[in-house]
Structure 1
Amino acid sequence: MLASTDTSRNRLIVPALGGLYATLNNSAETLLRAVTGVFLAIHGSQKIVNPFGATEMVEGLGFYPGAFWSPLLACTEFFGGILIAIGLLTRPAAFAGLIVLLVTVWFHWATMGQGFSGAEKSLLWAAILAFFVIRGGNRHSVDARIGKAF
C-alpha cells in the first residue's frame, strides 16, 4: 500500500489523505473486481441461454468447430464473470476472459480494420482482466476466505 507508509505520505500533495487512500485501497479493488465480474456475466448471460447461438460468429473468426467454441465462449463470459465477481479462482477466470478479450481486440483492430477506435473498449476490458490475472482476488474474495489462490 503506497499511501500507508510515512515516506509515501510525505510525497502526497495532501498528506492527510494518505490514511483515507490506505483505508479505501482494498475496497476500491474489490469494487472494481465485482463490477468487472458482474458486467462480464451480464454480457455472457444472453450467450448462456443459447450456448450455440454464436457458432457462426466464432467460425467466422476462424475457430472451428463452432459447436465447441460457442458454448465455451458462453461459459467463459457467464460463469467466469460470476467467479471473478465473488473472487473464486479469480486468476484462471480472469485469464480465460483475457483471452476472449484479446481475440475481440484482434477482430476489431485487424479483421474489421477498425484500428484503435474499434478495439478501444476491448483493450480497456483486457487491461482490467490482466490486472486481476496478476493481482488475484484480494483479501475480500472467496479465494482469501478459503485460504487458497491459484
Structure 2
Amino acid sequence: MSITPLLTKLLKPSVSSGFWTQTTWAILRTVAGIMMIHNGLDKLGDIQSFSQAYVEVIGLPFPIVFSYLAAFTELLGAPLLAIGLLTRPAAFGLFSTMCVAIYHHILVAGLNLPYLELSAVYAACFLLFAVNGAGLFSTDALLVNWLDVNVLSLQAKQVMGLEKAYQASNSQKESITSAAD
C-alpha cells in the first residue's frame, strides 16, 4: 500500500480561490504562525508556573506533561503553519491548544469576551487552516505537486506497459492468423 495517496490527501490545499485570496491566506497563515511561537517559548520559560496557573486549574492529569505538550505543540506547530508544511495536523494541534485555553478562560472568568478574545481569534484561524489546508502558496502545495507528478509518471508508465503488452499480443495473434492462412 502506497503512502502517496494519503500524503496527497493530507497535504492537498484548497485551490478554488483566486490569486489575491490565496495571497491573503498565505499572509494570515504566516502571521498567525509567527505570532504563536512566543507562546510556546513563554511556557517553556517557566513550565512549573504555567502548569500551576493554567493546567492544574482546569483539572487535567499530569499537568507538567500537558504543559510541555502545549509548549512543544506551539513551538513546533507554529513554524510549520507559518511555512505551510504539514499544515492541517499543525493547525489542528494549535486549534486544540486554543480550545483548552478557551476552556480555561471560561472556567476562570466566565464568558468575559476581552479575556477570551485572543484565544478565540487564534482558534478560529487555526480551525480555518485545519479544515482547508495551507493554500496554494505553501510548502504543502509544492509537495502535493511533486507527489502528483510522480504518481502521474508512475500511472503513465503503467499505461504504456499495458499498451505494449496489448500491442505484443495483437502482433502474436496477427502472425498466428497469417501463418494459418
- TM-score, length-scaled by structure 2: 0.64
Could you say what secondary structure the match of 1:64 adopts?
A: coil
CA displacement 1:82-119 (0-9 Å, x = unmatched): 11001111111111111111122122123322433321
Using the alignment, how far apart are the partners of 1:82 and 1:93 within structure 2? 9
**What percent identity do the matched residue pairs reach?**
30
Q: CA deviation at 1:121?
A: 2.0
| Larger RCO, structure (CA 8 Å, separation 6 or more) | 2
Q: CA deviation at 1:46?
A: 2.2
User: Structure 1 stretches of 5 or more lacking a match?
Assistant: 3-21
After TM superposition, the structure 1 stretch with the greater mean CA deviation from structure 2, 46-55 or 99-108, is 46-55
Q: How many residues align?
A: 129
Asked whether the 8 Å contact 1:88–1:141 carries over to 2, the reply is yes
Asked whether the 8 Å contact 2:39–2:71 carries over to 1, the reply is no
CA displacement 1:2-25 (0-9 Å, x = unmatched): 6xxxxxxxxxxxxxxxxxxx4312
Q: Which has the larger radius of gyration?
A: 2
Which structure is higher in helix share?
2
User: Structure 2 stretches of 5 or more lacking a match?
Assistant: 1-15, 148-181
Using the alignment, how far apart are the partners of 1:48 and 1:86 within structure 2? 23
1:6 corresponds to: none
Using the alignment, how far apart are the partners of 2:127 and 2:81 within structure 1? 12
Q: CA deviation at 1:75?
A: 0.5
RMSD: 1.9
